[in-house]
Structure 1
Amino acid sequence: MTEQWQPSACILCECNCGIVVHVEDRRLVKIRGDKDHPASRGYTCNKALRLDHYQNNRARLTSPLRRRPDGGFEEIDWDTAISEIAAGFKRIARTYGGDKIFYYGGGGQGNHLGGAYSSAFLKPLGSHYRSNALAQEKTGEAWVDAQLYGGHTRGEFEHAEVSVFVGKNPWMSHSIPRARVVLNDIAKDPGRSMIVIDPVLTDTAKMADFHLRTRPGTDAWCLAALAAVLVQENLCDERFLADHVNGADVVRDVLREIPVPEYAQHCGVDEELIRAVARRIGTASSVSVFEDLGVQQGPNSTLCSYLDKLLWILTGNFAKRGGQHLHSTFGPIMRHTPEVGRTPVTGAPIVAGLVPGNVIADEILTDHPDRFRAMIVESTNPAHSLADSARCRAAFASLELLVVIDVAMTETARLAHYVLPAASQFEKPEATFFNLEFPHNTFHLRHPLMDPLPGTLPEPEIWARLVRALGVVDDAELEPLRAAARRGRDEFTTAFLQAMAANPELNKVLPYVLYETLGPTLPDGLRGAAALWGLAQRAAMTYPDAIRRAGHADGNALFDAILTSRSGVTFTVHEYADDFALISHPDRRIALEIPELLDDLRGLAAGPTPLTTPEFPIVLSAGERRAYTANDIIRDPAWRKRDGHGALRVSVEDAAELGLVDGGRARIITATGSAEATVEITEAMLPGHASLPNGFGVDYPDDDTAAPRVTGVAPNELTAAGWRDRYAATPWHKHVPARLEPVPADG
């Protein structure tokens, strides 16, 4: 490889596959997979090849903006922006209390590093309520995980004899390293099986040995029937349950009473197919399971998370090659704790430390004294991504202070009082904390490919300037740490520990301390990577043996390896027996009995409650992932080579009944709103089920002077905040009652 190729990573899904990039005049002119990346090993999908549409587009911001009294924006200098914003948040904290300041962000699919610095600004103000996109997806699963074993699990699909995907289409949404290679390997091997539970005939379902095509919203009955067959046909791993699981007998007593034929009818799947799948799972040498948004954003989502985990726990597919595993974390992105807090106004559950997105508007649009008064949004677009966008816009517009940090003028930024332009993900050191693999787990610090676009700043520098403006740290107190950092890692470690012990208040601004002291000593524009030093120390203390197996003597050695390994580094190497040590319960056993969910499981006996009505008879899945969708991180629609307008996919039967024409137009109407979309008629959809893709409905300028145009449908103009899971309040984006009407060609 010549010097013109630089290692980096794709930023369009959680895999963050390694890529190498040829840069010319700030353009990413050539992109291909990085063979040296320890996780992706040269693999990448088609989406990564279009990343220049993110890096170079007309939507980039290049100056701080302040809202004028007339509603427009004016450019201001950075010093003015920082001083006014800091003063504004201090006023909010002084007048109402710091807990009235709400933070939404922490990074998108590829930019978590900047968000690591946010706490240094928020904690001194007294702000502690926060949320991000994970509260729209993963908090129900996290609550279940916390009670079962206290951490997140991931399947070892590369080696699994049986792979189960529940509401998941990894051919398009990936989420596992080298997804399409792994899927093809499974499909080609007659000794292995792929099982898909999904109402849609997805690309993955077409490859599967078993496709359980459930009616929309009935996944819980299908999963319960599968688990019941495991118990009723004596397919459980008795030795594993006796040695490693508490509460198995209580769970099995409930499952023995389930009428499998009746549940098969409820979910629309043939009973013999359910039994065949359960037998395949129950007799396999290894099983891995992956659940995703198809069930996590639909009815009974938290119950589904519990039930799909029963499939691999009851059969003992834990702590073995090809099974399910707990794993190390480098920078934890969620708290796995069974304790649930409550939001200050609505009393909604706060799971994994995250306020549910579906209640944010209600926490603002009220005269309650504890309502959120101010908000800071970083690298995300909740006005577009949260349910009932119109109500979210009204809520954000009512705030006394809204500040947005982003690379583009997003729908949320248009509502802000101040907009701060961030450097792109390729103009600064960046990383993701989606480090979820076992036994080898990897971390990749991406070096900047170019300097920040003039007028922009990396988020760590933005947060540092805001902290300085608060005046909460005496700069003189940092001088000994700066001097120690210049002398070397070991001296810095000693000085740092002494400083934290002498002044515990510095812990509130810990990322800022590292940025200001260790940061200037880091090479090649990597000052923003300073916060990783603390995470490396914690990882070394948490997983000492696994860190050493990966070749790192201690936290400093790991940190240095991260800085110098341009294609990423394996930071832990676990042995399979380590899985049990990673269980957080004192007895290191899985706690299978969750009383609330067992009550819900018993309640399935009443059968599904129809959520559609004669007025809204179609189930709309709002936000399907397709070949050319990537949330809204790429706003330029030119990146899409097909499906450029985000077609509404409908079944052959519904099209015939409603008079819809392939390539024609349809109006989608829900209780919340309406929109028009191009129609695609496909056998992939069941009758009564339609889907819209994610990533559409954002605005983008046609040229440098034209007003922005919008391509496709913004799904959350159609979703409702009240449709949500009762445990985690995650939205039912994949189950929206709707009505479809043809739009005349001349209309």
Structure 2
Amino acid sequence: MTNEDVAAAAAPEDWQPTACILCECNCGIVVQLDGRKLAKIRGDKEHPASQGYTCNKALRLDHYQNNRSRLTSPMRRRPDGSYEEIDWDTAIAEIASGFKHIAQAYGGDKIFYYGGGGQGNHLGGAYSGAFLKALGSHYRSNALAQEKTGEAWVDAHLYGGHTRGEFEHAEVSVFIGKNPWMSQSFPRARTVLNDIAKDPKRSMIVIDPVITDTAKMADMHLRVRPGTDAWVLAALAAVVAQENLCDDAFLANHVTGAENVLDVLRTVDVGDYALRCGVDEELIRAAARRIGAAESVSVFEDLGIQQAPNSTLCSYLNKLLWVLTGNFAKRGAQHLHSSFGPLFRHTLDVGRTPVTGAPIVGGLIPSNVVPQEMIGDHPDRFRAMIVESSNPAHSLADSNACRDAFSSLELMVVIDVAMTETARLAHYVLPAASQYEKAESTFFNLEFPHNTFHLRHRLMEPLEGTLPEPEIWARLVRALGVVDDAELEPLRRAAAESREAFTAAFLQAVSSSPMLGKVLPYVLYETLGPTLPEGLSGAAALWGLAQKAAMTYPEAVRRAGHADGNALFDAIVSSPSGITFTVHEYEDDFALITHADRKIALDMPEMLAEIRALSDAQTHFTTPDFPIVLSAGERRAYTANDIFRDPTWRKRDADGALRVSLEDAEKLGLVHGGRARITTAAGSAEASVEISEAMLPGHASLPNGFGLDFVDSDGRAHVPGVAPNALTSSDWRDPYAGTPWHKHVPARIEPAPVPVTV
């Protein structure tokens, strides 16, 4: 056998399975290492969801793993604002003592937590609850509160869970404020889109003001004026009602309150609404008729409407389209689905924040009120904050207000891989292992009928000086001294004996000790964790979730090949490319509705009132001073989330150009490749200009993922592009869920002044 033959035979073993971490899909990939470098990357054909698919962004992941921004020591802020390195023992002791003092002096509810993991970085968040509950902290938020809480509130009213379309088999696919060609969000997105576009029996309908990559593929593009999605969606639903396109049998058998909804929709003036939203009335009617006649319809809403005016109302209206036409619980339609680790508490109970009284939907404080919950002299204001794998000083609206608020805190701790914009405001920064240096997973398990879970094994040891988040949280809980280690000894012995012995001992221990019940992830990490294969101790928390999944979906778990929770957990741990954890049948959808009658409750009085009010409601929020709608944070081919701090991964659009229409460029005197100044009520910034036929007059966009500082190999600091939230305002938000209007910012755009050289 030649050397080449030997190398070829060994090659498959060189590829290690893991996942991409740049969007919610977390596609399976396999990686070849060169030392600590991710040298080669390709799709993992063994991954049950992505099946070898990946987009171009995953191929650049070494820019995350090996970048100059990595932290390798805990950092403590000095009185002058600079930072010094300290050892782990000192950091843990001082942080635990500091939070303990805050809890004793003001109450644990004055400690605020932001995070739970970036994309695909969720196991740490599973352990944070042990530390927070031990202190009495319960207020939290994360990036989902900038996007999905309005939809989650509507979902809770309608059926009590989250739905996802089965686009792979849908006859008609509808994308609202969504460009899946670029943003992905469901398995094998581009493959599925191409299949739809090539099949003459299938149709794609896109509602978007921009001629996106997906819109170019669509059979019908409803090019709505920015911010008027509510009118086009109400008009579509009205056509369904007025032209008798409803599935009457489905409504009679599976829906309550439909008649009240239909009565309201029958009063809608479709022609007037078409004028208001700028979409031809006949195109609206044709799209509604196509939806009404289809055997199956799947719908996807995303940030284009979730971060714009009337966002919660738009979520309700888009669900009317598929509920009224009976597109639920059948192949190619919408589905409720199983969940391994729920992202939301889908409940009708909406709490209120302690200072501003803003709605807390799904257990998450609206991101736009976070600064107001900290600044001032209100006795219930937050006094301390923990940020985990998130960068709210950059990602939340009105970055200046966030910086002021975070700087006012008595104690702020950030856990992250890099010295982020948020970390530079903290009293302590704890360096985490990267996502490829520890066991990790994602809880975006959203598919039906087959749902998947992927525990990723580490590719390499943690970088020296860093720790995985589960170990960081465990050390913090130990430092609080809330658990007597002797209580854990019986569990350790049982874990070493067998899964069955551990199950019995665990149930006995937590039933007899209230504190152990509060810190369950810590208990699992300390007792079950050491018995798991090397590098997988952080997966211990998944044992509890596996038990819950097996109890919640017993038949679906068994169909997937797992006899019980222990069998499911063992399959997760032993399958580095991921597993299918539930297999549902279509009629299971009705059992997943949480209402006692297992019917969709369509009548939402608040939303029906909003539909009635549309006939007189404001359709635009621009002014003579700020005449253009700016979409702040557009996803493009070379944009990603904030974990990509090194800008050299981008092959195009290195500066994050401002996209403007041909008409606006001519009117404003802008030149392609030139510079423009963007001004809003919140701030101003300069960007390069890209003149694009994709944009409507009066509409401009800036990409996401820019405005992050980076020090290159020569020691020079760079901040490429515009940080979008230097231009957004925390006052622009949805009245029901508090989600921000990042995609609808009134702005003024003008040529940038030419620098004067002396």
> What is the aligned partner in structure 2 of residue 734 from structure 1?
743
Residues 178-193 of structure 1: pairs in structure 2 closer than 5 A: 178-193=188-203
* Aligned counterpart for 2:208 among listed residues 198, 201, 217: 198
C-alpha distance in 2 between matches for 1:339 and 1:27: 48
Residues 420-431 of structure 1: pairs in structure 2 closer than 5 A: 420-431=430-441
C-alpha distance in 1 between matches for 2:617 and 2:700: 23
Does the CA contact (< 8 Å) of 2:511 and 2:517 recur in 1? no
C-alpha distance in 1 between matches for 2:520 and 2:326: 42
Does the CA contact (< 8 Å) of 2:228 and 2:619 recur in 1? no
* Aligned counterpart for 2:270 among listed residues 253, 256, 260: 260
Secondary structure, aligned partner of 2:227: coil
Q: 1:744 deviation in Å?
A: 4.2
Q: 1:503 deviation in Å?
A: 1.2
> What is the aligned partner in structure 1 of residue 354 from structure 2?
344
* Aligned counterpart for 1:331 among listed residues 331, 338, 341: 341
C-alpha distance in 1 between matches for 2:679 and 2:651: 28
Does the CA contact (< 8 Å) of 1:34 and 1:567 recur in 2? yes
Q: 1:709 deviation in Å?
A: 1.7
C-alpha distance in 2 between matches for 1:643 and 1:391: 29
The alignment status of 1:711 with 2:751, answered yes or no, reads no
Secondary structure, aligned partner of 1:215: coil
C-alpha distance in 1 between matches for 2:50 and 2:218: 23
Write the letter of the residue equivalent to 1:737: P
Residues 586-601 of structure 1: pairs in structure 2 closer than 5 A: 586-601=596-611
C-alpha distance in 2 between matches for 1:669 and 1:512: 48
C-alpha distance in 2 between matches for 1:500 and 1:67: 39
Report the TM-score when normalising by structure 2. 0.98
Q: 1:419 deviation in Å?
A: 0.1
Secondary structure, aligned partner of 1:118: helix
> What is the aligned partner in structure 2 of residue 132 from structure 1?
142
> What is the aligned partner in structure 1 of residue 393 from structure 2?
383
Does the CA contact (< 8 Å) of 2:75 and 2:85 recur in 1? yes
Can you list the C-alpha shifts for 1:125-158, whole angstroms capped at 9, x where unaligned?
0100000000000000000000000000000000
Q: 1:718 deviation in Å?
A: 0.2
C-alpha distance in 2 between matches for 1:436 and 1:732: 26
C-alpha distance in 2 between matches for 1:704 and 1:57: 14
The alignment status of 1:548 with 2:552, answered yes or no, reads no
Secondary structure, aligned partner of 2:648: helix
> What is the aligned partner in structure 1 of residue 612 from structure 2?
602
* Identical counterparts, % of pairs: 79
C-alpha distance in 2 between matches for 1:3 and 1:250: 61
The alignment status of 1:97 with 2:130, answered yes or no, reads no
Residues 1-400 of structure 1: pairs in structure 2 closer than 5 A: 2-400=12-410
Secondary structure, aligned partner of 2:400: helix
Residues 638-657 of structure 1: pairs in structure 2 closer than 5 A: 638-657=648-667
> What is the aligned partner in structure 1 of residue 673 from structure 2?
663
Alpha carbon RMSD of aligned pairs, Å?
0.7
C-alpha distance in 2 between matches for 1:744 and 1:83: 52
Structure 2 unaligned residues grouped into runs of 5+: 1-10
Secondary structure, aligned partner of 2:386: strand
> What is the aligned partner in structure 1 of residue 7 from structure 2?
none
C-alpha distance in 2 between matches for 1:704 and 1:61: 18
The alignment status of 1:461 with 2:455, answered yes or no, reads no
The alignment status of 1:531 with 2:526, answered yes or no, reads no
Does the CA contact (< 8 Å) of 1:719 and 1:736 recur in 2? yes
C-alpha distance in 1 between matches for 2:619 and 2:510: 56
Does the CA contact (< 8 Å) of 2:227 and 2:619 recur in 1? no
Write the letter of the residue equivalent to 2:147: E
C-alpha distance in 1 between matches for 2:115 and 2:630: 27
The alignment status of 1:722 with 2:731, answered yes or no, reads yes
C-alpha distance in 2 between matches for 1:519 and 1:565: 17
Does the CA contact (< 8 Å) of 1:484 and 1:491 recur in 2? yes
The alignment status of 1:697 with 2:701, answered yes or no, reads no
Secondary structure, aligned partner of 1:3: helix
C-alpha distance in 2 between matches for 1:628 and 1:61: 25
Secondary structure, aligned partner of 1:634: coil
Residues 428-507 of structure 1: pairs in structure 2 closer than 5 A: 428-507=438-517
Does the CA contact (< 8 Å) of 2:350 and 2:360 recur in 1? yes
C-alpha distance in 1 between matches for 2:664 and 2:256: 48
Q: 1:313 deviation in Å?
A: 0.1
Change (3 A) 1:739 1:206: same
Q: Alignment length, in residue pairs?
A: 746
Secondary structure, aligned partner of 1:375: strand
Q: 1:505 deviation in Å?
A: 2.3
C-alpha distance in 1 between matches for 2:387 and 2:342: 20
Does the CA contact (< 8 Å) of 1:167 and 1:295 recur in 2? yes
Runs of 4+ in 1 over 3 A off after TM superposition: 744-747
Report the TM-score when normalising by structure 1. 0.99
